[in-house]
Amino acid sequence: MARSSSAPAPVPLGSLTQPGAREGARCQMCRSERVTRISMELTDGSEVDFTHCLECEHRTWQHGDEVLSVDHVLSRAKRTR
């Protein structure tokens, strides 16, 4: 009874519930796809994508393809009046 047909690799079901998960969202550090991605808007109106890796806790902010530094984001995210 030789099984000649190779079963395709099972597709892992996404356990994350974030809406609008884009394909290609990966951790910049460990390349894991187990990331939480949130789109947020800074005080100056620019939209950034916040990616939080569930594997290594690495956090990344991106504006388009540009990776922003944490200091850059925090300086804009909080504004003291």
Alpha carbon of residue 27 to chain centroid: 6
To the nearest whole angstrom, how small is the minimum distance from the Cβ of residue 58 to Zn ion?
4
Nearest CB to Zn ion, comparing residues 16 and 56: 56
Closest-CA residue to 59 (of 35, 41, 23):
35
Contacts (Cβ under 8 Å, ≥6 apart) of 15: none
CA separation for the pair 18, 70 (Å, rounded): 22
User: Interface with Zn ion by CB under 5 A: which residues?
Assistant: 27, 29-30, 32, 53, 55-56, 58
Shortest Cβ 67–Zn ion spacing (Å): 14
Shortest Cβ distance from residue 75 to Zn ion (Å)?
A: 24
Closest to Zn ion by CB, 30 vs 74, is: 30
Q: Of 53 and 73, which CB lies nearer to Zn ion in the complex structure?
A: 53
Beta bridge partners of 59: 52
